[in-house]
Every structure is written in structure tokens, then in C-alpha cells.
Amino acid sequence: MQRRTTLKLAAALLTATMLGGSAYAQETIKLGAVAPKTGPLAGGAAVTHWPNIKLWVEEVNGRGGIDVGGTKMMVEVVEYDDQTNPAETIAAVTRLATQDEADFILAPYSTGLNLAAAPIFDRFGYPQITSTASTDRVAELSGQFNDLFFLLGQNSEIVGDAVEILSKLRDAGTIGNKVAMVNVADAFGIELASTAKPIFEAAGFELVYETSYPLGTPDLSPVMKAAKAADPDAFVAWSYPPDTFGLTEQAIIEQLDVGVFYTAVATAFPAFKGRFGAAAEGIMGIGGVNADSEAFQDYAKRHMDATGAAPDYWASGMMYASLQILEQAITGAGTLDRETVTQYIKDNAFETVMGTVEFDDNNNNPSYWTVGQWQGDAFRGVASTGREGVVDVKLKEGWE
């Protein structure tokens, strides 16, 4: 009897396949997730990465799962801590592909860890929709890795918009011509600094101080003391979360007197405003959002309700958008076949909390946020490559 039942089920599944119906015997979609839970970037991942996975999985399963060719399938997630170590990222992605047999693997956290894992994603044919990686090598990497997608855009546009803001302030006579620039010494910071230097020089700025520091440097006071001694008109840091907080703290201690103070990743975190209060007013950094958009406000409320914390004002929304894109692609393709889903991502536009997303040669097109600034209660977008809701820049006026 058991054998007959099994044979009947197999026949039914075969018939469903032939008729174009769903033939999925599995009941769940297994997703892999790899990101820091320890190490220097754990704090950033705890704000931007992990809470959005929790929110999205709860929402997907709350509405009965993802529609795959007519069958609703619940989502389960297998998580690994890569300890902010590229070797651990590679090992965990490999384990998810070969041992856990994940249907899909979510992109890691940060530029460096995503680029380290890209060959493994590509080897096993997993679409890698990055939401926390930015690079000018998009064309090169998308040509090398068919499955690799970028939501945050290219460094030259991020840097170019920041330099354009400084140029307008200088030309208006509100700041001078001297810039101090520092960077964290990993893939993210090194590439941004090397991209920024010639753009600053071409715009006629004088770089009066430049240095880099290792990721996780505990004491950044020597960096800030040296920057202040150079007497800059603007301070720019291509920084990751620990150093974004550390540099800002040291700038307040040193009372660095600049018209523009710019730090990178984590400037958009609500905890940044919570830590520095009124001193955060006027600080600029990477990213931003249209804080007044109904879509973002609704997403932020759901994020708070599900996780007990507010999302950040940049990559959190992009992280959630990457999950929306994956869900829409699976449903649109009607299959868990990774090659088919990847092609669907290439060929279609997706409606997300950050607006419409469409990829052009695997790069987010047409637009994304590039520069934000703390103004009042939100980190508002002051520059983008085409998003609605850009607000005017304000000058940084002290630390009180």
C-alpha cells in the first residue's frame, strides 16, 4: 500500500509538471545567511543586515509563504557568523551550498566580504544581490560573475556627489579649500579614498592631510589630532561603523572646527543620532533616504514593530529591498531554479521600499542615494543619482 501511494504521488507530480502546474515536493525554501555576529563589523550587521532578514521572514511566512509556481512555500533560514573574516565568509557560503543545500543564499554584509564570497556564489550559481557593497568595478565584476548584483551603486558617483556638494559650498564662500581625508584600510575604504583623491584634486581642493588606519583600530585620537593640526575646512572619512563613531567622538573632543564633517557607514544609523544628539546636526555621510515618503515610513514602522529597533537611513532599506527582489523574482520565475531566477532579476523591474529597482548590467538603475545629512530627526538625502525627495544641504555649525 505504501509503495502504491508513493507511486501515485510520483505520477501526480509528473502529471502536474507536464501540465505546467507545481511539482514541488518540498514544503519550505531554505535560505542561507552569512554575516558578522562578532568582529569589527558585527555592530553594523546588527543594525542593517540581521533585523531585515527577521522582518522579511516573519512577513513572508505570515502571509503563507512565497508563491512558487502556484505552491505557497514557507521560508526557513540557516545562519552563520563569519566573524568579519573573509575566510569564514567563504567557508560558510561553501557549507551552505554543499552541506546545507540551501535553495538561495543571501548576500553577505560589507563590500569586502561580498567581493570575497562572489566566486563561491558564482561557482554554485546563486544570485548574489548585494545591499551593502559599493565599488567602481561593477562592470568588471558583473562580467566576471553573472550572478552578482549591486544595489548601492558605484563609488565614483558617491564620491562625485560629495565633492560636488563641497564645491558648491566653497564657490559660495561658505567653506575654504582645504580638506582632511582619512580611510579605513580595507577594500571599502581603500577604493573610496583612491577614487576620491583625484576627484578632489580635479575640483581644485587641497588635501592637507591624508591617512589610513586598520579596521577595528581602538584609538583614533592620533588621527583626529593630526587632522586638526592640518587646519582643514572640511573633514572626510571613508569609514566603517566602529571608526565612524570613534572619529566623531574624537572630533567633538578636539572641537574640530570645519564647515563640512563627513563620515561614511553608520552615519545613517539612528544610534549615531542617539549617541551624539545635537552634535550630529549637519553631519554628512554616505546614503540617505526620502524620510518623508510613505513607503519608507511604513517600512520603518514595520521594522520597529518586528525588531524593536528603527532601520538605518540608507542600507537598511536596500537590504530589505534585496529580499523583496528575491521574493518577486522567485514568484515571477515560478521556480526555485537559480539560473532562471537570476535571469528574471536581470530582465525585470521590482517595486521595493526604496522605490523601483531595475538592473542595468547588474547595477541598480536608474538611481540611488549618494549623500545624506542629519537634519532634525532624520538623516535626509541631500544628493542622489535621480531619487525624489532630495533636500538642501546645511552647513555644519559647531558641536553644541
Mean pLDDT of the region 104-119: 96
Confidence of residue 366 (pLDDT cuts 50, 70, 90): low
In-domain check, residue 390: no
Strands 71-81 and 66-68: antiparallel
User: For residue 366, is the peptide bond before it cis, meaning its omega torsion is within 30 degrees of 0?
Assistant: yes
Mind listing the pLDDT tens digit for each residue in 80-101?
Answer: 999 999 999 999 999 999 999 9
Residues 135 and 227 in one domain: no
Mind listing the pLDDT tens digit for each residue in 315-334?
Answer: 999 999 999 999 999 999 99
**Mean pLDDT computed over every residue of the chain:** 92
Residues 100 and 243 in one domain: no
**What is the reported pLDDT for 10?**
34
**What is the reported pLDDT for 1?**
32
Task: Assess contact for 197 and 236: CB atoms under 8 A.
Answer: no
Contacts of 47 (CB under 8 A, 6+ apart): 241, 266, 269, 271, 309, 311, 312, 316
Range of the domain at 212: 155-291+371-384
In-domain check, residue 12: yes
Residues 218 and 150 in one domain: no
**What is the reported pLDDT for 25?**
57
User: E strands of 45-140, at which residues?
Assistant: 66-68, 71-81, 104-105, 128-130
Residues 44 and 129 in one domain: yes
Q: Which amino acid is at 201?
A: E
- Rounded CA-CA distance 237/213 in Å is 11
In-domain check, residue 399: no
Task: Assess contact for 234 and 262: CB atoms under 8 A.
Answer: yes
Residues 234 and 169 in one domain: yes
CA 326 to chain CA mean position, Å: 15
Mind listing the pLDDT tens digit for each residue in 203-250?
Answer: 999 999 999 999 989 999 999 999 999 999 999 999 999 999 999 999
In-domain check, residue 355: yes
Strands 378-384 and 355-360: unpaired
In-domain check, residue 81: yes
Q: pTM of the predicted model, to two decimals?
A: 0.86
Residues 203 and 88 in one domain: no
Domain count, the chain: 2
- 289's grid cell: 533616504
CA 325 to chain CA mean position, Å: 14
Residue 209 has φ and ψ, to the nearest 5°, of -155, 135
- Rounded CA-CA distance 315/89 in Å is 20
Mean pLDDT of the region 259-268: 97
Contacts of 316 (CB under 8 A, 6+ apart): 47, 48, 51, 52, 303
Residues 229 and 103 in one domain: no
Residues 230 and 315 in one domain: no
Question: 3-class SS at 43?
Answer: helix
- Rounded CA-CA distance 341/10 in Å is 25
Q: How many CA atoms lie within 13 A of 129 on its CB side?
A: 29
**What is the reported pLDDT for 400?**
81
Burial 202-229 (b: 16+ CB within 10 A, else e): eeebebbbeebbebebeebeebbeebbe
In-domain check, residue 396: no
Residues 299 and 286 in one domain: no
Is pLDDT of 363 > 70? yes
Residue with C-alpha cell 589610513? 212
Mean pLDDT of the region 151-173: 94
- Rounded CA-CA distance 101/115 in Å is 22
Residues 190 and 112 in one domain: no
Q: Tell me, what CATH number does 190's domain have? A: 3.40.50.2300
Residue 234 has φ and ψ, to the nearest 5°, of -145, 145
Mean pLDDT of the region 371-384: 96
In-domain check, residue 82: yes
Residues 321 and 339 in one domain: yes
In-domain check, residue 397: no
Residues 148 and 34 in one domain: yes
- Rounded CA-CA distance 26/32 in Å is 16
